[in-house]
Amino acid sequence: MIQPLLQTATAPRTVSVFGATGSIGCNTLDLVRRNPDAYRIEALTAYRNLDLLIAQALEFRPHLAVIGDASHYSALKAALAGTGIEVAAGDQAVVDAADRPVDLVMAAIVGAAGLEPTLRALRRGAVVALANKECLVCAGELFMREVERQGATLLPVDSEHNAIFQVFDFDRPEAVDRIILTASGGPFRTWDRDSMAQVTPEQAVAHPNWDMGAKISVDSATMFNKGLELIEAFHLFPVKAEQIEILVHPQSVVHSMVSYIDGSVLAQLGSPDMRTPISYALGWPARMETPARRLNLAQIGRLDFAEPDLERFPALRLAREALVAGGNAPTVLNAANEVAVAGFLARKIGFLQIAEIVQTTLETLPLAGVEDLDDVRETDREARRVADAIMRRIE
Ligand SMILES: NC(=O)C1=CN([C@@H]2O[C@H](COP(=O)(O)OP(=O)(O)OC[C@H]3O[C@@H](n4cnc5c(N)ncnc54)[C@H](OP(=O)(O)O)[C@@H]3O)[C@@H](O)[C@H]2O)C=CC1
Ligand SMILES: CC(=O)[C@@H](O)[C@H](O)COP(=O)(O)O
Ligand SMILES: [Mn+2]
């Protein structure tokens, strides 16, 4: 049983889970299930997975269950009738669910769709456990400005950023030399480009180490995931872009490292199980017990590291260029990637065309400043339109 510092036996921590039906959402609820006295669920949100949302609502008895796809409203209402659980549907209802006062919000919606509810939660002053990296890619500066303005607490859940969060000396950032983001290299780490041209969605979502949703699994395979994480790290930690390195580490045991000016390198290690970083956020500032397999380095025997290959994985180059260019470029990169990944999963385009579509979209749209959230929304819409048009030409 956990014993977080901010909790007493009579006051369970209240939690809302956005993206409850996804991989992060389910892992979060698994930890809650194992610690029933320590947490109470306020709101659960899903998008299309009605059956799972109903099952989760019946098990965890939140005050509110929201389905993003409004066509499921009646079915959700009927299934939860008589339970006392409030029901809502539609995109706006997902955002409004973030108004519910809670101790912690798990932001685990996939894609830029997570931006508005997460911002709403920040504005209400919730502690936000952030899995949704696309928030920071498409609106990093505005998002972090909002965090500062609200004095909000942001707890990184993405395994690499959670690792860095655990070993970064926030009191002495000037002592940090570099951040080293580890990358598994994905299922095609050793493949040549000709072979990658033929891969199927089934092969691309089969990550060697992690069990994740389809979109992030494809991102890992193209290595856009590491590109998005580069931009995510830039916004989360007080370092310059050139201080963030990417290092291929196929075993996903060292989750990331911070290198200090005295030559010390601090790393966080663990079995690849998202329940460890999720638990760090759920229990924060205390640690809680998880069922993650204990690391046995003697059994693992060796850990490998290598430089990333920017020729075979152009996503890494594109993401760094977008970060350095700034302005609307990261928003465009993220939106085009979301469109291209969806197209690949729907078998409209080939694997290598994901990065091609992102690159062409970036080349098509002029670099411009992003002043406010309306600019982000407009850039996101326009980039999706352009990426979609490029995809149709390829199809
Ligand atoms: N999975 C992992 O281990 C890791 C994930 N992350 C990040 O966490 C986030 C979630 O990833 P993951 O759990 O894998 O994703 P999944 O695809 O497994 O789950 C996504 C969740 O978001 C919901 N959703 C999808 N589209 C919308 C929308 N338009 N509006 C509202 N809700 C929506 C889905 O609902 P439904 O299923 O009901 O349609 C589901 O609950 C991503 O940003 C990812 O990059 C970061 C590190 C590790
Ligand atoms: C679990 C997690 O945080 C993922 O982002 C993971 O890191 C993906 O693995 P890659 O290193 O292959 O992108
Ligand atoms: Mn990650």
Write the single-letter amino acid at 122. L
Instruction: Report which protein residue has its CA nearest ligand 1's atom 27.
Output: 47
Between the CA of 382 and the centroid of ligand 3 the distance, in Å, is: 27
Average pLDDT of the chain, as a whole number: 96
Asked whether residue 1 is assigned to any structural domain, the reply reads no
Does pTM top 0.80 for this prediction? yes
Q: What single string gives the DSSP state of each residue in 284-296?
A: TTS-----PPPP-
**pLDDT, tens digit (0-9, with 9 covering 90-100), for 64-76:** 999 999 999 999 9
| Gap between the Cα atoms of 29 and 35, Å rounded | 10
The answer to whether residues 55 and 89 belong to one domain is yes
**Partners of 106 in beta bridges:** 17, 129
Give the per-residue pLDDT at 126: 84
| Gap between the Cα atoms of 248 and 78, Å rounded | 49
Share of the chain above pLDDT 70, in %: 97
Domain residues for 337?
Answer: 326-395
How many domains, the chain? 3
The answer to whether residues 242 and 357 belong to one domain is no
The answer to whether residues 127 and 39 belong to one domain is yes
Domain boundary among 284, 310, 336: 310
| Chain center to CA of 388 | 23
- Check if 341 has its Cβ closer than 6 Å to any atom of ligand 1: no
Work out the average pLDDT over 265-274.
Answer: 98
> Do the bridges between strand 39-46 and strand 13-18 make them parallel or antiparallel, or are there none, so unpaired?
parallel
Asked whether residue 219 is assigned to any structural domain, the reply reads yes
Q: Which residues keep their CB under 5 angstroms from ion ligand 3?
A: 158-160
**pLDDT, tens digit (0-9, with 9 covering 90-100), for 288-337:** 999 999 999 999 999 999 999 999 999 999 999 999 999 999 999 999 99
Give the pLDDT band of residue 4 (cuts 50, 70, 90). Answer: very low
The alpha-carbon radius of gyration of the chain (Å, integer) is: 20
Half-sphere exposure of 267 (CA within 13 A, CB side): 14
**Could you tell me the CATH number of the domain that includes residue 130?**
3.40.50.720
The answer to whether residues 151 and 190 belong to one domain is no
**In this structure, are residues 67 and 311 in contact, taking their beta carbons and an 8 Å threshold?**
no
| Gap between the Cα atoms of 299 and 185, Å rounded | 22
Looking at the CA of residue 220, tell me the nearest atom of ligand 2: 13
The answer to whether residues 111 and 201 belong to one domain is no
Is pLDDT larger for residue 244 or for residue 125? 244
Q: What single string gives the DSSP state of each residue in 323-370?
A: HHH-TTHHHHHHHHHHHHHHHHHTTSS-TTHHHHHHHHHHHHSPP---
Between the CA of 24 and the centroid of ligand 1 the distance, in Å, is: 7
Domain boundary among 125, 157, 189: 157
Write the single-letter amino acid at 356. E
Looking at the CA of residue 217, tell me the nearest atom of ligand 1: 14
Ligand 2 proximal residues by C-beta, below 6 Å: 158-160, 183-184, 186, 210, 216, 220, 225-226, 274
Give the per-residue pLDDT at 148: 95
The answer to whether residues 106 and 221 belong to one domain is no
In the predicted structure, residue 343 carries a pLDDT above the cut 80: yes
In the predicted structure, residue 9 carries a pLDDT above the cut 70: no
